Amino acid sequence: MNLIDQAVVGLLPLVPKPIVRRFSSRYIAGDDLAAAVRTMRLLNGRRLMATVDVLGEFIHRLDEADATAAEYEHVLDAIESGGLDANISVKLTGLGLLLDRDHCHRLVEGLVRAAAVRKNFVRIDMEDSACTSITLDLYRRLRAAGHDNVGVVLQAYLRRSLDDIAALLPLRPNVRVCKGIYVEPEAIAYKDAEEIRLNYRRMVERLLDAGCYVGMATHDPALVEAGKAIVSTRKLPVSSYEFQMLLGVAEDIRQSLIDSGHRLRVYVPYGAQWYAYSVRRLKENPRIAGYVFRNLMARR
Q: Which amino acid is at 212?
A: C
- The Cα 179–Cα 222 span in angstroms is 13
CA distances from 32 to 268, 271, 273, 279 (A): 12, 5, 10, 19
Q: Give catalytic residues, as residue numbers.
A: 125, 176
CA distances from 81 to 78, 93, 241 (A): 5, 28, 26
Q: Give one word for 184, left, alpha or beta, with left for phi > 0 and alpha for psi -120 to 50.
A: beta
What are the residue ranges of helices labelled H in 12-61? 17-24, 33-45
- The Cα 123–Cα 58 span in angstroms is 18
**Count of positions (residues) in the chain:** 300
